[in-house]
Amino acid sequence: MDDAGLVHITVPKFQSKLGKHLCRLVRKNNEFQADMDAIGSFIWQRCDGKLSVGDILKDLEKKFPDEKNIDQRLFVFLTQMRQLDYLTF
């Protein structure tokens, strides 16, 4: 997390052995940094295993009252983090 409260995570470019091997061959890093926006950072910080998705949604609605489709953004964020194996539920 940076000084502004935004979260930055390291994401692998390739999961497969072939992809990882190609990165080594061309001497490229197999990871990149993903910079979360304010909403993603807010959600990430609440994914502590104690809060329910409903609790996180309520917090989001309070923090970002003018944001449209906040429930959909939460769903997409959680789905993406699960696909990356960063969250389980």
89 is a domain residue: no
46 is a domain residue: yes
1 is a domain residue: no
E strands, 1-89, are 8-12, 31-35
pLDDT on residue 46: 95
88 is a domain residue: no
Q: 4-57 pLDDT, tens per residue?
A: 889 998 877 777 788 878 878 888 877 878 899 999 999 999 999 999 999 999
3 is a domain residue: no
Nearest CA to 84 out of 2, 30, 9 is that of: 9
pTM metric for this prediction: 0.75
pLDDT on residue 57: 97
pLDDT on residue 32: 76
Q: 61-77 pLDDT, tens per residue?
A: 999 999 999 999 999 99
Domain containing residue 65: CATH number: 1.10.10
Domain count, the chain: 1
Contact at 8 Å (CB) between 30 and 19?
Answer: yes
